[in-house]
């Protein structure tokens, strides 16, 4: 199984809904969605239908966090299952997100 990303645009908010597996073989699927982000206030990454994420996928999420700082938008992580939540917490994804979000105006 691969990864599909559905994009919804609501005024100045973009929602990316992930379905499938975010790993080394699919992480590049995110790139075009992130590359086309221009002037938005919020990017929501919805993991409600994400089945698996590996370290490469986590790296893509961290890159999204730094992109939010670079392009000055708020990033929200949503729909995270318990296992992914524990991994994000252990690796420090939430810590990075919280530190960056304080800098985004």
Digit-coded pLDDT (tens) for 57-98: 999 999 999 999 999 999 999 999 999 999 999 999 999 999
Q: Model-level pTM?
A: 0.91
Vertex 94 angle, CA 92 and 97, to 5°: 110
Residue with tokens 């100045």: 12
pLDDT at 59: 95
* Cα angle for residues 21, 44, 77 (degrees, 5° grid): 65
Average pLDDT over residues 15-37: 93
Model confidence at 17, pLDDT cuts 50, 70, 90, reads very high
Class of CATH domain 3-101: alpha beta
SS3 content of the chain, % helix, strand, coil (to 5): 40, 35, 25
């Amino acid at each position: 199984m691969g990864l599909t990303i559905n994009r919804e645009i609501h005024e100045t908010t973009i929602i990316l809904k992930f379905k499938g597996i975010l790993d080394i073989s699919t992480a590049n699927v995110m790139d075009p969605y992130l590359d086309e982000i221009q002037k938005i206030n919020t990017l929501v990454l919805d993991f409600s239908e994400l089945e698996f994420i590996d370290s490469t996928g986590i790296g893509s999420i961290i890159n999204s966090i730094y992109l939010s700082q670079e392009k000055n938008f708020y990033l929200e992580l949503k729909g995270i299952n318990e296992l992914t939540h524990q991994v994000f917490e252990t690796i420090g994804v939430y810590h990075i997100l919280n530190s960056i979000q304080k800098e985004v105006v």
